[in-house]
Structure 1
């Protein structure tokens, strides 16, 4: 087939011919005679071409243009925009084309300190949050650039030399010395530099704070919702307790009349055994931190190890009279009146009875009256004691042993709960809410004082001597003088408000120590406790150390040191001697 002549094969349709147009590739050579004739499938084949004679005269080579200069650095060129490397057959008179102007050289990448915005630098994620270095998913590849500026410099290049070294005392960055005074300080009117990081892979303190705030936002929302629900539940329980005890007070008023219901007797003289030396030596201790004076009764050798006894509500040191007589042969037993109770001073205001303030009082008492150096359990500068607490005293003893383990050698808890365990247990056991209804009543102002003092403290007498709430052992029922030992302090003007203020701070925002007491622990619990559910004792046992001991005393109520004194003393001796 002749060159330049197309042929259609396998076509049934007759195609009209067309003329060949164009120039001969060699100048000066005439075109063949059949070059302009029409053709088709039925037309006769053209004759074979005649041999082409060489043109007359010698062939003169056309000089080629010099090679184009290389593309400037940083420019992507295709090689066709500069001078042509050979003459064009279509335009033999043109040997080269004028070169277009070169691309403008890109400006050097500015240093970090010059392209910071005027208000605040844009925070970038740290290197740790950018993920693994990988170019493709699931495989190895080239490193992914961390920022747009670094990618631009790697691909294009700046053509700049390395930055000069920074003078001494000037903060340096990836692009050279920073603008500013030595130490990173800036001149007046300049944009201050970020404190941390000078590249896209670093993070500043503002970004770190924002990231932490964003991550903690759901947790804070849940905690705020939990606090709101807890406050609403407490408010509902306070209202219900106020209505229930208000109806009880209305019944007392209707039964006894206004004169009998609204009268109470102020005990002018303390009963026998309360202020004399029947059970021990009375003393006062002035605290260094607050300046208050606390009353205590001590019995035993002054150089013996200290056993500190803490009472609950509405009692005072008198509830430990049986233990004062029992353990004074080997220990220096001290029964303390907590602040606001008994003969101790009573500071005004609810804030004076916060748990952390009460714990500080007990800590100072141990440091002053603690076991002297040279005895078992005492260390240099850290006196220790055997701490025993009942009711509110047990709550404080538990938290003191957890927060100050260097002050407690052994811990004994009697019918008292940890505040965190108590709150969790009450949320899942409504029966405990009914047993603790008086706590919600004490959140109200003035009404608890009025109800407790009605009919000469009838409600307090019911707590201590009632058939369900009082002492269950018939042989240990409180006598009238023993009952007056508790009512003597409560009947004085303003004597009810300080003990009630203990309960008015239990629903505050004060942190509750959640550590386990590292010292040996003994937990005694009355099986017939009317104020604390017996199922609460195993929950408390799981919060103590594995070596702790739990004893559930049968046929005993809440006032265990007075209800079963012989059993309590025997269990205490076994625990102190190590035979438990």
Structure 2
């Protein structure tokens, strides 16, 4: 696919950019531990009618990787997304903002802070911060499923993940999920992205900088530990599609409870027989749901 390098928000970003340049634009934001290549299946199925842009987000693969944790605050990540949109559509709008995993977190924040720039929002197995934080505070199963965040926030987690040819990252991918889509060819692409200088540290800096309160192992969160997340500032006003792989063991259905109360126009589509990596496991079905919503 066509890869190009752009300057945006004071950083250099590497982007996959496919489809007619004058077609409605889709901005696609990946999560951890993926990179822009995680969108290849969707781009292949949508770029006939849409201009698809999938950047390596800051800290990942071929894009710039600031070393300091503070460089990965939500505000800076949202500014990246808007600046990348401005590069391709100066002052204009994207037909849709699409996010998965951590990319969903950025997409939700961008939809809240700059709703005038995005006509539609599509999320694939990602969480709005308010229902997710509620689940972490009240649901023991979601709290247990999110314990890996404590490990990723450790100062040396990036070194442990990269050791033994990225054995630690692969264990996280393999944990209770189907990764039969990770062929040797695909794995080589991922390892090349993870192995870029500074990449693994930049990737886990997203977790270190995030204002997410995770309960201690087997414990609960005290009220003072929970960030103040005012619902009135976190509303999603544009049409919103949430696609959910029902076997996700990291993000449980409880993590989306109450989302409908925060959205003006929410469509939920559940897919059985796939998990967090739904776009790789059932790309035709996921792309068909996206296309129906976009059209």
TM above 0.5, yes or no, is: yes
> What does residue 4 of structure 2 align with?
283
Q: Does 1:525 find its partner at 2:244?
A: yes
The answer as to whether partners of 2:93 and 2:119 remain within 8 angstroms in 1 is no
Q: Does 1:431 find its partner at 2:154?
A: no
Greater RCO (Cα-Cα under 8 Å, separation 6 or more): 2
> What does residue 224 of structure 2 align with?
none
Match of 1:308 among 19, 27, 40: 27
How far apart, in 2, do the equivalents of 1:492 and 1:484 lie? 13
Higher share in strand? 2
How far apart, in 1, do the equivalents of 2:65 and 2:172 lie? 23
> What does residue 69 of structure 1 align with?
none
The answer as to whether partners of 1:308 and 1:386 remain within 8 angstroms in 2 is yes
Deviation sequence 1:465-492 (CA, Å, 0-9, x none): 45x1343xx5xx2101201211212223
The answer as to whether partners of 1:419 and 1:512 remain within 8 angstroms in 2 is no
How far apart, in 2, do the equivalents of 1:540 and 1:563 lie? 25
RMSD between superposed Cα atoms in Å: 1.9
Pair 1:512–1:358, CA change in 2 (3 A)? farther
416-425 or 393-402: which moved more?
A: 416-425
Alignment of 1:327-342 (within 5 A): 327-342=46-61
The answer as to whether partners of 2:142 and 2:254 remain within 8 angstroms in 1 is no
Q: Does 1:515 find its partner at 2:234?
A: yes
Match of 1:463 among 168, 172, 175: 172
Asked which structure has the greater CA Rg, the reply is 1
Pair 1:484–1:539, CA change in 2 (3 A)? farther
Q: CA deviation at 1:512?
A: 7.2
Q: Does 1:492 find its partner at 2:201?
A: no
How far apart, in 1, do the equivalents of 2:106 and 2:153 lie? 20
**4+ runs deviating over 4 angstroms:** 508-513
Q: Does 1:345 find its partner at 2:64?
A: yes
The answer as to whether partners of 1:294 and 1:344 remain within 8 angstroms in 2 is yes
> Structure 1: which 5+ runs fail to align?
1-279, 373-380
User: Could you tell me the TM-score, scaled by structure 1's length?
Assistant: 0.46
Secondary structure of residue in 2 paired with 1:504: helix
The answer as to whether partners of 1:463 and 1:470 remain within 8 angstroms in 2 is no
Secondary structure of residue in 1 paired with 2:258: helix
The answer as to whether partners of 1:541 and 1:550 remain within 8 angstroms in 2 is no
> What does residue 297 of structure 1 align with?
16
How far apart, in 1, do the equivalents of 2:287 and 2:235 lie? 25
Higher share in helix? 2
> What does residue 288 of structure 2 align with?
570
Q: CA deviation at 1:398?
A: 0.8
Alignment of 1:146-165 (within 5 A): none
Q: CA deviation at 1:345?
A: 1.0
